[in-house]
Amino acid sequence: MVPGPGTLVRVPLGRSTRLGVVWDRPAARAEVALRPLGEVFSMLPPLTPAWLRLVEFAAGYYQRGLGELALAALPPELRRLDGLQLARRLARLDRPPARAGGDADARLEELPELGDEQAAALEAVAVLAGMASPPALLLHGVTGSGKTEVYLRAAARALASGRQVLVLVPEINLTPQLEARFAARFPAHRLASQHSALTPAQRLANWLAAHRGQADLVLGTRMAVFASLPRLGLVVVDEEHDASFKQQDGARYSARDLAVYRGRLEGVPVLLGSATPSLETWHNVAEGRYRAAAMTARVGGGAMPRVRLLDMAALPRAPAGTQPPALAPALRAAIEQRIARGEQSLLLLNRRGYAPVLHCGACGWKSGCPHCSAWRVFHKADRTLRCHHCGFAERVPRACPECGNLDLGAVGRGTEKLEEQMAALLPGARIARIDADTTRGAGALAERLAAVHAGDVDVLVGTQIVAKGHDFRRVTLVAAVNPDGALFSSDFRAPERLFALLMQAAGRAGRDAAQAAGSEMWVQTWHPQHALYRALVAHDYAAFAAAQLGERRAAGLPPFTHLALLRAEARDAAVADGFLRDAAEAAAALPEGDAVTIYPPVPPPLARVAGLERLQMLVESRSRSALQRFLAAWVPALHGVRRTRRGLARWAVDVDPLAI
Ligand SMILES: [Zn+2]
Ligand SMILES: [Zn+2]
């Protein structure tokens, strides 16, 4: 008997066998010689038609091979196992799972009472659940408004009707706390997480549990959007605006956008939660494609902190030859008051390391990376110069490599230096730092967060890691030390990301109603009149979004146009440039080429990485479907163009790129 679509099989390929998925049964063609299938994994249920359609859509939309995408969507461990090995894994799995705390989920009467806005949001989800093809729902709630409680209640309803729930979060760091809340609320249900920190065996076990319907809750990072869930009833995308939902290599898919597509495909509600929605989502609500529920009040009556803009231009100038202090005197005084009251302060600086560049005042030498068009960052703790793009690291030279000058200076400031300056500025204060450098080891982040929660820290210095999701009860002051850079970035999404980061950081303060009244966010800026900061002071996301969307419309940028990037990399920039020019010529020969505008090749902001020169070419269209039709005709032609260009290291198409 021929196995049906979705069946997992092993197929002979050369001398070995490979994992395969039966997709459909094409009519037999005389000119094609067929080989028999290897093993058929009949011990597993087939992947559902909806799963196959999701993968088909993703492969088509993001211009990747169907087989490549399907295999990438399955757990890697599955590729290695034969039938016997798989059967053994399953026998482990069939033992009843350990339950966290009992056989029954929390009862409704034991739960905290919902606020009016939470209840209305939950009602909106219920309405969607009753629709055959529900639109996505934006859950627009300020930090602390209790979005997670809405997720939990919506999940409870889906679980009660025998359905499975998929929850996507942007970062692995945020999975443990959300996992703990779901596990505590639903002890009678099995939860399977999906993220890259799991071992291959764990990932397979969790995947199988969901695929066989044993796990009812799947929680994970972007890869989890492809989880096999035969009884899917609800999708939640938490922090939907977060850039981490976009894959940055291989198949460059947006897990958020695929989640919305999956919901439509399977007719289940999709909740997009955020305090600062992506402008794409906000625009979709304005155009009536998505619905929205607003939650403006903080649970427990906490208020949003007062935002204070500190005009750096109004401060007295630092004497010639000296660096200005890291903190303006007024901010320093405010932090000292917090310390005296036993409250905590959080200082946000989105740049790790000690100083972004080391500089020789005698000859002008700077610590450039020999492989990239970037500076190597000075890390004082281990005395290294490290490139954050290719990883190239060297010990700090004792003298300038160009002129031998012994007096090398650190220019600018990273979190490591800020931590050191705070220790000098605030003697006796307990300072801690959280960034990618201090949280490398297993459990290091949890350990540092625990110290903050226990009150063992007065001033926490950190990068964006600390701004996201963490519930700091004792923090009453948040300060952005030097956020202006993003205002004038060439990246058109930089202001959107800065606003989201500052709003999220502000949300860390005043989560306790008792302390909320005195909570403040300080922003040190040279541009206090900037519209972004005015909107921040008013906690007015809508005003910010309206201004940004106006600029995007005038400039012909997303969501008003649809973009794809063709990227090329080679040791020799001329090779990459030649490939892109040939590609543009190939486009001009296509009938679909009329519907798009192709811009000349340009280097991206970071033009050289790990010894490869990068170039990119922008393709723009007013219509998403026209762009899709064009790409479907163009990308196959590019494989031919590529063969004529020797020395090209890589090329890739990025549909809906995050940065151009
Ligand atoms: Zn020098
Ligand atoms: Zn480098």
Lowest mean pLDDT among 15-29, 55-69, 288-302, 645-659: 15-29
pLDDT in tens, 146-169: 999 999 999 999 999 999 999 999
Residue 97: pLDDT band with limits 50, 70, 90:
low
User: From its phi and psi, is residue 136 left (phi > 0), alpha (psi between -120 and 50) or beta?
Assistant: beta
Q: Number of folded domains in the chain?
A: 3
CA separation for the pair 560, 13 (Å, rounded): 46
Closest ligand to 361 CA?
Answer: 1
Mean pLDDT of 174-184: 87
Residue 144's domain is classified under what CATH number? 3.40.50.300
Closest ligand to 389 CA?
Answer: 2
Neighbouring-strand partners of residue 521: 307, 478
Cα dihedral across residues 532, 535, 541, 544: positive or negative? negative
Do residues 630 and 592 touch, judged by C-beta distance below 8 A? yes
- Residue spans of alpha helices (H) in 507-604: 513-516, 531-537, 541-555, 573-588
Closest ligand to 386 CA?
Answer: 2
Residue 243 lies inside a defined structural domain of this protein: yes
- Compare 86 and 27 and report the one with higher pLDDT: 86
* 614 CA from centroid of ligand 2 (Å): 13
* Cα distances (Å, whole numbers) of residue 429 to 25, 180, 314, 345: 70, 32, 28, 11
Q: SS3 for 432?
A: strand
Mean pLDDT of 278-292: 97
Q: What is the pLDDT of residue 584?
A: 96
* 395 CA from centroid of ligand 2 (Å): 15
Residue 462 lies inside a defined structural domain of this protein: yes
Q: What is the pLDDT of residue 516?
A: 62
CA separation for the pair 140, 145 (Å, rounded): 9
Q: Which of 627, 570, 629, 578 is nearest to 601 (CA)?
A: 578
Q: What is the pLDDT of residue 643?
A: 86
Lowest mean pLDDT among 9-13, 103-107, 250-254: 103-107
* 359 CA from centroid of ligand 1 (Å): 8
Residue 11 lies inside a defined structural domain of this protein: no
Q: SS3 for 53?
A: helix
248 and 226 housed in the same domain = yes
* 406 CA from centroid of ligand 1 (Å): 8
The token pair at 475 is: 């923090």
- Residue-number span of the structural domain to which 483 is assigned: 303-316+324-352+414-553
* 610 CA from centroid of ligand 2 (Å): 5
Q: Considering the chain, what is the average pLDDT of its residues?
A: 91
Lowest mean pLDDT among 17-21, 63-67, 375-379, 443-447: 443-447
* 386 CA from centroid of ligand 2 (Å): 8
209 and 284 housed in the same domain = yes
**Exposed/middle/buried for 392, CB within 10 Å: 0-12, 13-18, 19+?**
middle
547 and 587 housed in the same domain = no
644 contact partners, CB below 8 Å, separation of at least 6? 582
* 323 CA from centroid of ligand 1 (Å): 21
Q: SS3 for 214?
A: coil
* 352 CA from centroid of ligand 2 (Å): 16
Residue 583 lies inside a defined structural domain of this protein: yes
pLDDT at position 274 over 80: yes
Q: Which of 141, 111, 100, 121 is nearest to 240 (CA)?
A: 141
Q: What is the pLDDT of residue 100?
A: 47
Q: Which of 254, 251, 227 is nearest to 243 (CA)?
A: 254
pLDDT at position 27 over 80: no
φ/ψ of 468, rounded to 5, equals -95, 120
348 and 290 housed in the same domain = no
420 contact partners, CB below 8 Å, separation of at least 6? 354, 380
Query: Could you please report the per-residue DSSP string of 146-205?
Result: -HHHHHHHHHHHHHHTT-EEEEE-S-GGGHHHHHHHHHHH-TTS-EEEE-TTS-HHHHHH
203 and 342 housed in the same domain = no
* 609 CA from centroid of ligand 1 (Å): 25
* 454 CA from centroid of ligand 1 (Å): 47
Q: HSE (CB half, 13 Å, CA atoms) of 82?
A: 6
Helix (H) or strand (E) holding 281: helix 279-286
Do residues 240 and 106 touch, judged by C-beta distance below 8 A? no
* 408 CA from centroid of ligand 1 (Å): 8
Mean pLDDT of 180-186: 91
The token pair at 514 is: 């008792």
Q: What is the pLDDT of residue 94?
A: 66
pLDDT at position 617 over 60: yes
Closest ligand to 390 CA?
Answer: 2
- Among the candidates 553, 577, 610, a domain finishes at 553
Residue with tokens 């035969």: 230
- Among the candidates 231, 266, 300, a domain finishes at 300
150 and 273 housed in the same domain = yes
Amino acid at 9: V
Residue 258 lies inside a defined structural domain of this protein: yes
Q: What is the pLDDT of residue 234?
A: 98
pLDDT in tens, 521-536: 999 999 999 999 999 9
Mean pLDDT of 247-258: 94
> How many C-beta atoms surround the C-beta of residue 159 within 10 A?
20
Q: What is the pLDDT of residue 112?
A: 83
Do residues 307 and 539 touch, judged by C-beta distance below 8 A? yes
491 and 612 housed in the same domain = no
The token pair at 146 is: 């209790």
Residue 622's domain is classified under what CATH number? 3.30.70.360
* 376 CA from centroid of ligand 2 (Å): 7
Do residues 219 and 191 touch, judged by C-beta distance below 8 A? yes
φ/ψ of 87, rounded to 5, equals -60, -40
* 396 CA from centroid of ligand 1 (Å): 14
* 108 CA from centroid of ligand 2 (Å): 55
CA separation for the pair 327, 633 (Å, rounded): 56
* 411 CA from centroid of ligand 1 (Å): 14
* 306 CA from centroid of ligand 2 (Å): 41
* 402 CA from centroid of ligand 2 (Å): 19
The listed range with the strongest mean pLDDT (188-202, 216-230, 396-410, 487-501) is: 216-230
Closest ligand to 363 CA?
Answer: 1
CA separation for the pair 204, 194 (Å, rounded): 9
263 and 130 housed in the same domain = yes
Closest ligand to 359 CA?
Answer: 1
Residue 396 lies inside a defined structural domain of this protein: no
* 379 CA from centroid of ligand 1 (Å): 20
Closest ligand to 362 CA?
Answer: 1
* 358 CA from centroid of ligand 1 (Å): 11
Closest ligand to 394 CA?
Answer: 2
Do residues 201 and 139 touch, judged by C-beta distance below 8 A? no
Do residues 379 and 416 touch, judged by C-beta distance below 8 A? yes
Residue 571 lies inside a defined structural domain of this protein: yes
Helix (H) or strand (E) holding 85: helix 83-93
Pairing mode of beta strands 377-379, 384-386: antiparallel
Closest ligand to 606 CA?
Answer: 2
536 and 571 housed in the same domain = no
pLDDT at position 101 over 60: no
Closest ligand to 612 CA?
Answer: 2
312 contact partners, CB below 8 Å, separation of at least 6? 324, 328, 524, 525, 526
270 and 160 housed in the same domain = yes
Q: What is the pLDDT of residue 554?
A: 94
Q: Could you give the percent of the chain with pLDDT greater than 90? A: 70
Q: What is the pLDDT of residue 552?
A: 94
* 325 CA from centroid of ligand 1 (Å): 26
575 and 639 housed in the same domain = yes
**Exposed/middle/buried for 624, CB within 10 Å: 0-12, 13-18, 19+?**
middle
70 contact partners, CB below 8 Å, separation of at least 6? 21, 23, 55, 59
Closest ligand to 400 CA?
Answer: 1
Q: What is the pLDDT of residue 507?
A: 83
Closest ligand to 405 CA?
Answer: 1
* 393 CA from centroid of ligand 2 (Å): 9
pLDDT at position 498 over 70: yes
The token pair at 166 is: 């998929």
Q: SS3 for 506?
A: helix
Q: What is the pLDDT of residue 419?
A: 94
Q: What is the pLDDT of residue 28?
A: 66
Cα dihedral across residues 221, 227, 231, 232: positive or negative? positive
Angle CA 567–573–574, to nearest 5: 105
* 381 CA from centroid of ligand 1 (Å): 23
Amino acid at 621: S
Q: Which of 526, 517, 349 is nearest to 433 (CA)?
A: 349
531 and 574 housed in the same domain = no
* 609 CA from centroid of ligand 2 (Å): 6
- Compare 436 and 106 and report the one with higher pLDDT: 436
- Among the candidates 489, 521, 553, a domain finishes at 553
Mean pLDDT of 133-154: 94
Residue 236 lies inside a defined structural domain of this protein: yes
* 380 CA from centroid of ligand 1 (Å): 20
pLDDT at position 96 over 80: no
